[in-house]
Amino acid sequence: MKLYVVLLFMCLFELDGSRSFADEPAQAHPIIGRWQVVALEGSGKMDSGISFRGMQFKFDGETWTTWPGNTTPAGIAGKPPTKRKYTIDDSHSPKHLDVTVKTKDGSRMMQTIYKIEDGKLHICMGRANGRPVAFSTEGTRNGCYVANRVENEPDEAGDQP
């Protein structure tokens, strides 16, 4: 499981995106808000919690902020949050959530899928190039996070999970 946490943070550093939901004030996108990670599945196995305990995501319409949590392995626990731009395309099934990942050779698109079902956010990402096609990791090297919405968000001055 620690590989999936490392993958998440390696892929999400120094990101750039072009689409923003900030120009759509009439109706906020359902992903906007803060989410507490409650489960992680990788390669068909559920993580015990060591790889995600305390991890949170926040989507604000332009930026995806990730707090690594307090028990995540590989030396990322307690690190500052990462911020990256994201794009969403809801016209596909499953829905697309993409980020541009800067690499030593330039950049590449990290293609993920997401859904919000029964009040839970599900985000699945693949370890190989290409977009996952399902929210199961059985028989794959993909990782899927599940998060609950955090209702009482801290104010921006104290924007800590």
* pLDDT tens figures, 91-139: 999 999 998 666 788 877 789 999 999 999 999 988 766 899 999 999 8
What's 2-152's CATH class?
A: mainly beta
Q: Which pLDDT belongs to residue 135? A: 93
SS3 109: strand
Q: Average pLDDT of the chain? A: 78
User: pLDDT value at position 154?
Assistant: 56
Query: How many helices and strands in the chain, by DSSP H and E?
Result: 1, 11
Residue 62's CB: how many other CB atoms inside 10 A? 17
pLDDT tens digits for 24-40? Answer: 444 689 999 999 999 99
Distance CA 124, CA 101 (A): 16
Give dist(CA 135, CA 114) in Å, integer.
8
Q: Where do the domains of the chain lie? A: 2-152
